[in-house]
Amino acid sequence: MGAQYSALTKLGFGALAFNSALAVYNSWGDAASVAFVLLADAALLLLFICLREFERAAGRGLRRDTGKIKASVWALTTLLTAMFASKVASLMTPAVAALVWAMAVATAAAGFWAFFLS
């Protein structure tokens, strides 16, 4: 990360990296858990990059250039929502798991509506 990022941003990414390293260390031998941590980190990093790009485009008055960025942000947040819902739902009873998935779908739908329809 270059000088364009604040100290708080760097600290946040440092904490994420440390936490992720611990999660991978504790999950070593369980390929699915390690893959989950690495995919979630990659999605969070891409989401951060997309949001920065969205802010820059909006700041320059380039509204027409934000459509692809909005789609990327929505896709990444939907991916993260589904990933975490799958982890949480697997620990719940079937009725609560259904509620977790319903909330995840509602969140993704609301995000789509907010980004593209309103």
Residue 110 lies in a domain: yes
The chain-wide mean pLDDT, for the chain, equals 90
In which domain, by residue range, is 74 found? 7-117
Q: Which residue has the tokens 């593209």?
A: 116
The number of beta carbons lying within 10 Å of the beta carbon of residue 93 is 9
> In 3D, which of 53, 60, 20 has the Cα closest to residue 39?
20
Domains in the chain: how many in total?
1
Q: Is the pLDDT of residue 44 over 90?
A: yes
Q: What is the pLDDT of residues 99-117, one digit of tens each?
A: 999 999 999 999 999 989 8
Pairwise CA distance, residues 60 & 69, whole Å: 14
Judge whether 43 and 80 are in contact, CB under 8 Å: yes
Residue 1 lies in a domain: no
Q: What is the pLDDT of residues 54-75, one digit of tens each?
A: 888 877 766 666 788 899 999 9
Residue 64 lies in a domain: yes
Residue 48 lies in a domain: yes
The number of beta carbons lying within 10 Å of the beta carbon of residue 19 is 12
| pLDDT tier, 3 (very low <50, low <70, confident <90, very high otherwise) | low
